Chains A and B, each alone.
Chain A
Amino acid sequence: MKYKILKVFILFFFLTTKSFGLVSVDITRGNLDPLPLAVSNFYLDENLTDNIKKLQLEVKIPELIENNLSRSGLFFALEKKSFIQKPEVAHNRPRFEDWSFIKAQVLVTGKVSLEKDGRVKVEFKLWDIVSATELSALAFYTASDNWRRVSHIISDKIYERLTGEKGYFDSRIIYVSETGPKVDRKKRLAVMDQDGYGIKYLTLGNELVLTPRFSPTSQNVTYMSYFKNLPRVYLLNIETGIQDLVGDFPGMTFAPRFSSDGKKIIMSFAQEGNSDIYTMDIKTRVVERLTDHPSIDTSPSYSPDGSYITFNSDRSGFQQIYTMKSDGANVKRISFGEGLYGTPVWSPRGDLIAFTKLYKNKFYIGVMRSDGSGERLLTENYYQEAPSWAPNGRVLIFYRETASDSGGRGGGAKLWSIDLTGYNERLIQTPTDASDPSWSGLLSEKQKN
């Protein structure tokens, strides 16, 4: 008995004599400044053919990576002139002092060489200059004219390795290209890489097209066009060019969007001045009605897990944002601010809903949490609308129209992107006027599906 008590006590003393001597300092704040990054030119292997050498991949690939990363606003690319080490030496193992001397914190090096089967091997290494370690190294094999795609994938890998978040560079944007005078506007569907390269026109422009939306999982696009003078929702595969009318509705259908698994289309169907929300299964063509209310319910968008839907409705008297379960139950108003709220889009991360707000004749693009709290307006302008999320949920693309003068001159529409901080706003160059952009998912992930 006594021994037992003694044992308990001994044990107790061992447990309590744990040392708490170390001074502990909590670091709960840091800076969100862009990370100083050096992208060295790549090392070009001697065995490459002259044709490939002409492409100057050793310069073009790092240049594209650098552009991608700097445009994200999270990285600050250092001037190449200040680099001390040669690409081939640096790629082997950089002399870290040389790079920390120019204040680089991370370094990207790479090498381009030829494989026996004629493909090009592009490899890159990411170095932590401050801790003098290699963070990652990967190689890609591809046809030499596919170098842009490879550069985007490499940019994504670097972005992901340093921020912890998936990238968005290997993705495309579909939009409505607008040309011609205001009274006779020619609208065509166009698709391009997220950095504005490789524009392809998908329609001829003899029919009006509006609100194209990328499927998050495939090369399918849904949009609104006119059929027998009525707006109707269409489905288009941009690889095959096959176009399809969605559902056999007796009236007009509009504001289509894919579900997050890409299997359904959700849209508005209007009859006798009342519009409600419907879904259609793409394979089985089964149509389901989700809302039944005398008000105008439109602009539906699924949450990424597919269990909720956000939409806007004027059932309260003014247009506001609502959420409901994917079967139409539990309708809940989430926006309560002054002004009108529209075009809600659920973020691919699931935490936020982006929207357009009209208040005192100004248009705002903003975000709020999915319960309606934490509303933040990111940008204000004369006219801007239709935000669409980048696949990682950090950047939004939208279009903005500038006011035309009294003679009707000027006033074109352009695509803009803004990140969640609200500071990194950028124009996306397009050769024509552009509206209604929609961001695709990551292309590399689509191929897996």
Chain B
Amino acid sequence: MQKSLKISFIAHFLILVLSSLALPFLVGKVQVPVLISVDLVQIGDRTNLPYAPKVTDGEKTDKKIKDKVVTNQAPPKIIPKEKPDAVPLPENIQKIKELLEKRQNPVKVEDLTKQTSEFEKKEIFDPNKISALIDKSKKDNAEINNKPNIEATQSQQKNIVASKLTITQEDAIKAQIFKCWNIPIGLPYNENLTVRVKVKLNKDGSLISSEILDQTRMNAAGQTYYKILAESALRAVKLCNPLKVPSTDYEKWKEMQLNFDAKEMLKG
């Protein structure tokens, strides 16, 4: 009994020591080696390249598809000519795709649509839809373009299981605030000046509240630089109001902590 208690105690103590070494808040100040700031990027399903929908490109591709399909003497049933407002059946689309892939230089429709970010998806739908409405013969192509988009949203849904914002979402928020934040250029770049701002947002992205998480430091004597940085951060958040936010996952981004750090910019 005594022996097993001792073993248990020693084992637990060991765990405690190990965990206190591993968990920084138990140790207090940790000697951190020289920090090389690296943007940690969580790879999402889609790239975060800002993508401006080019209607003309889309149309060109559409034309190419048509031309190539025609010159290939495709069976007439593949190009639906029956009714102008007929929605192509999934098999038909599949067949068109297969046909295109057989050709030497297949034009991949998906590639175009895959480069969309969460926020621009709506905008990307519209031009094609409008053109499809105006010119009913294009409707089929518009539908083809739509198809991979829907798939994309579905796969995005799977991604959401992760508790963090995906790279596209995070970058979209970052990009907006970068533009709004006017950096006070006189701040020293060799001091630790990170201002943490907690923001609460409505579903439409409008700001409910913003507060500096380290209020005491802001009002402390001798913290002029911190104060100036904090003020500029608050201005940035307010200038960016309302933020363009993802249409989904409100729970995830309704409260966010923004860490403003001008070091890299000031170092030049």
Contact = CB atoms under 8 A, between A and B. Distances in A.
A binds B: yes
SS class, residues of chain B in contact with chain A: helix
B59 interface: no
B198 interface: yes
A74 interface: yes
A24 B196 CA distance: 9
B181 A27 contact: yes
Contact of B25 (A9, A15, A130, A164): A15
A164 B256 contact: no
Nearest to A166: B186
B12 interface: yes
A32 interface: yes
A26 B165 CA distance: 12
Contacts of A31: 178-179, 181-183
A35 B238 CA distance: 15
B9 A5 contact: yes
Given A5-B9, A162-B184, A23 B264 contact: no
Interface in B2-19: 5, 9, 12, 16, 19
Given A35-B182, A131-B238, A164 B259 contact: no
B265 interface: yes
Interface stretch (B64-72, B126-134, B228-236): B228-236
Given A22-B198, A22-B255, A35-B182, A164 B235 contact: no
Nearest to B188: A164
Max count, chain B CB within 10 A of own CB: residue among A12, A74, A135: A12
Contact of B181 (A12, A30, A164, A394): A30
Nearest to B177: A27
A105 interface: yes
Nearest to A36: B182
Contacts of A22: 198, 255-257
Contacts of A25: 165, 170, 173-174, 177, 256-259
A28 interface: yes
- Chain B: interface size category: 35 or more
A164 B165 contact: no
B225 A164 contact: yes
Contact of B257 (A24, A35, A163, A392): A24
Interface string A119-157: 000000000101100010000000000000000000000
A8 B258 CA distance: 35
Given A5-B9, A25-B170, A165-B186, A128 B259 contact: no
Given A30-B265, A31-B181, A163-B186, A23 B260 contact: no
B262 interface: yes
Contacts of A35: 182
Contacts of A95: none
Given A25-B174, A28-B37, A131-B238, A18 B265 contact: no
Given A12-B16, A30-B236, A31-B178, A164 B184 contact: yes
17 contacts: A15-B25, A22-B257, A24-B259, A25-B177, A25-B257, A26-B259, A26-B261, A27-B260, A28-B262, A29-B178, A30-B181, A32-B182, A32-B185, A130-B238, A163-B187, A163-B228, A164-B187
Interface of B: 5, 9, 12, 16, 19, 23, 25-26, 37, 39, 164-165, 170, 173-174, 177-179, 181-188, 198, 224-225, 228-229, 231, 233-236, 238-239, 252-253, 255-265
Given A27-B233, A29-B181, A162-B184, 9 more contacts: A22-B198, A23-B255, A25-B174, A27-B178, A28-B261, A31-B183, A130-B235, A163-B185, A165-B185
